[in-house]
Amino acid sequence: MEAIVRHPETDELPALSRIWKTVFDDGCEADFFDHYFDPSHCIIAQYGDVIAASGFLLPAGHIINGMQRVRCAMIYAVATLPEHRRLGYGETVVRQLISRGHELSYQAIVLCPADDSLFEYYKTRIELRDWFYVFEQKITFAQIHNGCVDSQPMSAARLTRVSEERYGRLREEMLDKTPHIEFDKRAMAYQSLLCEQYGGGLYQIDSADGISCAIVERQFGGAVWIKELLTPDRAKVFDIVPAQQTLNILKAIAANHPADEFLVRMPAEAREQSGSPENRPDKQSKCVRRFGMIAVFDGIFDSHIISSPPPWYGLAFD
């Protein structure tokens, strides 16, 4: 029996919630559906009487790429019930979400694969392109405090919780020279909601080195996730060994969110610009990896799809 692919009806929310609980089990389904659910931006695959797979298209804001400002949407929470996997339903849902995005006049569709192996799958099966990269590093509480020079009080950082509006403005200042997604108010409000759900917040960090900003959540198991850390001069703040100003920022975060381990995400700054394979962003550091993909319509970007510095995705709601 072939699956029927369509938009859901409003009264089918319990079935969509069941898929979410079964696949993600993160307790966020009620918040998500209250905040984002729009049947015209959702695709389901129905097998018999069962909704077997679903996915959502979220209006995200704009991609800023140099002088280009491109309206974009995010593919999010694509999920298939375990008993219906390996039948192509997830791929069909993604294809239909991209097609729906084109119909709705989005100029680009972005996607953050849930697993690294999916990059090649989406690239070969759906022709999405790698575009976003992330610098990601684990650091322990002991490493943060042992590396800080407490004899330099002028370098102490101060953490202040801010509104999503304030954070959005800071974020755009920090990312002024970096290709990135400028998320709209709705997306920033949802991120703020997730921070509350996971015991974190949106923060401004003031230090002698300037103003920085960070999104903080607490992971299952107790580790603290700094899912976005943006500073005025990222090229100097976190290589394999973090610089002093980064340690001071992390120390301020750790004082408010104590944990044994911290996972830090920052934009991946390119060290060289030659464009040869060995100088691609994902080849420059073991801490830099692919993070997101893109589908564009109507030739909106030129052939130099990998920009310098590497594009930043940011709020993946993962």
Residue 122 included in any domain: no
Residue 244, pLDDT score: 77
Whole-number Å distance between alpha carbons of 111 and 131: 10
Domain check: are 210 and 107 in the same one?
Answer: no
Residue 108, pLDDT score: 94
Residue 61 included in any domain: yes
Domain's final residue, options 111, 146, 170: 111
Residue 53, pLDDT score: 97
Residue 289 included in any domain: no
CATH number of domain containing 209: 3.40.630
Name the phi and psi angles at 112, rounded to 5: -110, 105
Which has the minimum average pLDDT: 20-24, 57-61, 180-184, 204-208?
A: 204-208
Domain check: are 42 and 79 in the same one?
Answer: yes
Domain check: are 248 and 149 in the same one?
Answer: yes
Domain check: are 254 and 156 in the same one?
Answer: yes
pLDDT at 162 over 60: yes
Domain's final residue, options 267, 286, 309: 267
- What is the per-residue pLDDT across 231-271, written as a single tens digit (0 to 9) for each? 887 655 555 456 777 888 999 999 999 999 999 999 987 44
Residue 260 included in any domain: yes
Mean pLDDT of 293-317: 76
Domain check: are 32 and 153 in the same one?
Answer: no
Domain check: are 148 and 251 in the same one?
Answer: yes
Look at residues 261, 281, 283, 257 and name the one whose alpha carbon lies nearest to residue 270.
Answer: 281
What one-letter code names the amino acid at 189? A
Residue 164 included in any domain: yes
Residue 277, pLDDT score: 39
Q: What is the 3-state secondary structure (H, E, C) of the chain?
A: CCCEEECCCHHHHHHHHHHHHHHCCCCCHHHHHHHHCCHHHEEEEEECCEEEEEEEEEEEEEEEECCEEEEEEEEEEEEECHHHCCCCHHHHHHHHHHHHHHHCCCCEEEECCCCCHHHHHHHHHCCCEEEEEEEEEEEEHHHHHHHCCCCCHHHCCEEEECCHHHHHHHHHHHCCCCCEEEECHHHHHHHHHHHHHCCCEEEEEEECCEEEEEEEEECCCCCEEEEEEECCCHHHCECCCECHHHHHHHHHHHHHCCCCEEEEEEECCCCCCCCCHHHCHHHCCCCEEEEEEEEECCCCCCCCCCCCCCCECCCCCC
Domain's final residue, options 248, 267, 286: 267
Domain check: are 244 and 139 in the same one?
Answer: yes
| The two structure tokens encoding residue 310 | 């590497």
| The two structure tokens encoding residue 287 | 């801490």
Residue 123 included in any domain: no
Residue 298 included in any domain: no
Domain check: are 138 and 263 in the same one?
Answer: yes
Domain check: are 105 and 140 in the same one?
Answer: no
pLDDT at 114 over 70: yes
Domain check: are 143 and 99 in the same one?
Answer: no
Domain check: are 74 and 139 in the same one?
Answer: no
Higher pLDDT, 155 or 292: 292
Higher pLDDT, 16 or 237: 16
Q: What total number of domains does the chain contain?
A: 2
Residue 13 included in any domain: yes
Domain check: are 106 and 142 in the same one?
Answer: no
Whole-number Å distance between alpha carbons of 54 and 42: 7
Whole-number Å distance between alpha carbons of 77 and 44: 12
Mean pLDDT of 70-91: 95
Q: What is the pTM of this model?
A: 0.88
When pLDDT is cut at 50, 70 and 90, the band that residue 41 belongs to is: very high
CATH number of domain containing 27: 3.40.630.30
Q: Give the range of the structural domain holding residue 83, as residue numbers without chain letter.
A: 4-111
Name the phi and psi angles at 233, rounded to 5: -135, 80
Residue 283, pLDDT score: 47
Mean pLDDT of 104-119: 93
pLDDT at 191 over 90: yes
